[in-house]
Amino acid sequence: MATREIAGKTVQVNEEGFMTDPSLWTKEIAVELAQEEGISNLTPDHWKIIEYCRQTAAASGSAPTLRNITNNAGVSTKELFSLFPKGPAKKVARISGLKKPEGCV
């Protein structure tokens, strides 16, 4: 496992850059990871999805899939792709400090 500094905090990440310990995640880390993913400003709509994903992962032990997010977070697939372009479930999981969702390539 590699370590890296994100928003002034040293965290472990896997080979794809996903944090391995979600308890070390902070909103400042989310902002920096979002910028790395090409999202310059996290809006209230972004935060709603991020918070949903973190709550779901805390309860289930894994990051939610695209279908789970669109069925349960009050956002359409089109809106999710607009907020997190090009692989939204994977992108929101990384920004949320979670592991890659199952089924994502």
**Is there a contact between 22 and 57 (Cβ–Cβ < 8 Å)?**
yes
Set 7, 24, 31, 104: catalytic member: 104
Give catalytic status of residue 53 as yes or no.
no
Number of helical (H) and strand (E) elements in the chain, helices listed first: 5, 2
Give the three-class secondary structure for 28. Answer: helix
Please return the burial class of 100, using the count of CB atoms within 10 Å of its CB with bins 0-12, 13-18 and 19+: middle
List the catalytic residues: 104
